[in-house]
Each structure stands twice: as C-alpha cells, then as structure tokens.
Amino acid sequence: MPPFFNWADILKDQKAGPTLPLGMTRRGIVLGDVMLALHEAVPKLKGTPHRHPSAQITYMLRGRMRFSVEGEERVLSPGEFAYAPPNALHGIESLDEEVLALDIFSPPRGDITERLKELEKEESR
C-alpha cells in the first residue's frame, strides 16, 4: 500500500443502504487498524441513531451538524470533533447547510469494509 493518498482517487459511495443514509455520500479507506471515511451530507439529513463495536471520531470540516452520543447532544462546527466509544448509541443531523465530516473508526467497521469491497467489484466491471 502506498504511503500517500488523494481523496479524489478514492471511490465515492453514493448509494443509500444499511451503512449510508439517503442524502449522504462516503469515500472510505482502511489503513491497517484504522478506517477513514469522508462523508458529505445534504442539509437537514437525519441519520438513524445506531451503535457499532468500533470507536468513532467525527471531525467537522465544513458545515454544522448535531451529533448525539448516549443522549448527550452538541452542534459541531468546522474544527470541532466528537468521540463515540465502542457500542455507544450515537446519531447525526445536518442543519441548514451541506456538511463535510471526516470519520475515523478503530478498528475498521466490518459492515463498511464489506461495502467498500462491493464498490471495488462494481468499479472493476
């Protein structure tokens, strides 16, 4: 695996499904024990609260988003980030603008890893 990357070279998932709500896109990559996922969301998108065995850090790059972790909420702006421990119930809601957020998962989420493999297969057809 090369040591340097460009988000533009990483496949963009635009298909809504179990790991991606309608109105959100994702570029994801697994790097050893860490997964990076660059998410874009349309305004007023409300994700279903969920939990997974991976720890998650969400770092805001553009826009504002309400983030909840185990019932505690905060509106995050660019430069702020949230931490959801493994198996913590958490959810998101974009506000009145498009959002760009970087999610870091450790260990990589198995469900998203499988979706990335599907995307690669679709691209190679």
Per-residue pLDDT of the chain (125 residues; tens, 9 = 90+): 889 999 999 999 999 999 999 999 999 999 999 999 999 999 999 999 999 999 999 999 999 999 999 999 999 999 999 999 999 999 999 999 999 999 999 999 999 999 999 999 998 87
Hey, is 3 helix, strand or coil? coil
CB-count burial class (<10 Å; 0-12, 13-18, 19+) for 84: buried
Nearest partner of 119 among 53, 20, 40, 52, judged by Cα: 20
Per-residue confidence (pLDDT) for residue 106, from 0 to 100: 98
CB-count burial class (<10 Å; 0-12, 13-18, 19+) for 103: buried
Per-residue confidence (pLDDT) for residue 71, from 0 to 100: 96
d(CA 94, CA 46): 7
* Domain boundaries, given as residue ranges, for the chain: 7-124
- pTM value is 0.94
Per-residue confidence (pLDDT) for residue 123, from 0 to 100: 87
Fold that domain 7-124 belongs to in CATH = Jelly Rolls (2.60.120)
* Residues 104, 36 contacting (CB under 8 angstroms): yes
